[in-house]
Chains A and B, each alone.
Chain A
Amino acid sequence: KQEVTQIPAALSVPEGENLVLNCSFTDSAIYNLQWFRQDPGKGLTSLLLIQSSQREQTSGRLNASLDKSSGRSTLYIAASQPGDSATYLCAVQNQAGTALIFGKGTTLSVSS
């Protein structure tokens, strides 16, 4: 059974720092991996989707990497801003047409 773990559960950094959020999964036979952002009391916003054949994806200050063989993904946030404060969720899809398996998330707080 696929399990997704995110470390740390919470992270506080000062504005301007570069930071890394970690995601690990137990079954390396995945179809894709996605990173989402969730603001308090709101729904999820998709940030990056990495197909199993890809190693990384970039969007603005965000870079997500995927090492399928070791069951790990990282989300790198450059030059963090207070507006980046949110919960970041990692999810994997085992194969096309199956449910996303989510981690519990990392709650990020960026202070000005």
Chain B
Amino acid sequence: ETGVTQTPRHLVMGMTNKKSLKCEQHLGHNAMYWYKQSAKKPLELMFVYNFKEQTENNSVPSRFSPECPNSSHLFLHLHTLQPEDSALYLCASSQDPLADTQYFGPGTRLTVL
């Protein structure tokens, strides 16, 4: 078991629903990340937070809204998603932003109907 946990592990939602993904790291790290892994595509970085401040938004649509209340918790709020948003959403953390080994959670498998 890694030091990064994600809930829920699986989520099915309709296009009009609003849901949130949660990530928690128990490693004392300062940086947290959201990644998207779609079938047949490379892993893509979505957001980076360093000391609770968003430092990178990789041109992610506004229907994905991140929130980082403290260095240990990261949320991804979802609303009016599209079927093509179905993917594995991975959270990661590291001591320093991006220039350090990242530790990943198990991911949330999201299906948008």
Chain A residues with CB under 8 Å of chain B are 4, 31-32, 34, 36, 41-46, 49, 89, 91, 93, 96-105
A99-B45, A100-B45, A102-B42 are contacts. A42–B107 as well, Cβ < 8 Å? Answer: yes
Size class of the contact patch on chain B: 20 to 34
Contact between B99 and A104, CB atoms less than 8 A apart: no
| Shortest Cβ distance from residue A48 to the other chain B in the assembled complex, whole angstroms | 10
Contact between B101 and A34, CB atoms less than 8 A apart: yes
Chain B residues with CB under 8 Å of chain A are 2, 4, 6, 40-45, 48, 56, 58, 90, 92, 97-99, 101-107, 109
Residue of A nearest to B43 (CB): A102
Chain B residues whose CB sits within 8 angstroms of the CB of A98 once the complex forms: 98
Contact between A99 and B98, CB atoms less than 8 A apart: yes
Contact between A42 and B106, CB atoms less than 8 A apart: yes
Chain B residues whose CB sits within 8 angstroms of the CB of A41 once the complex forms: 106-107, 109
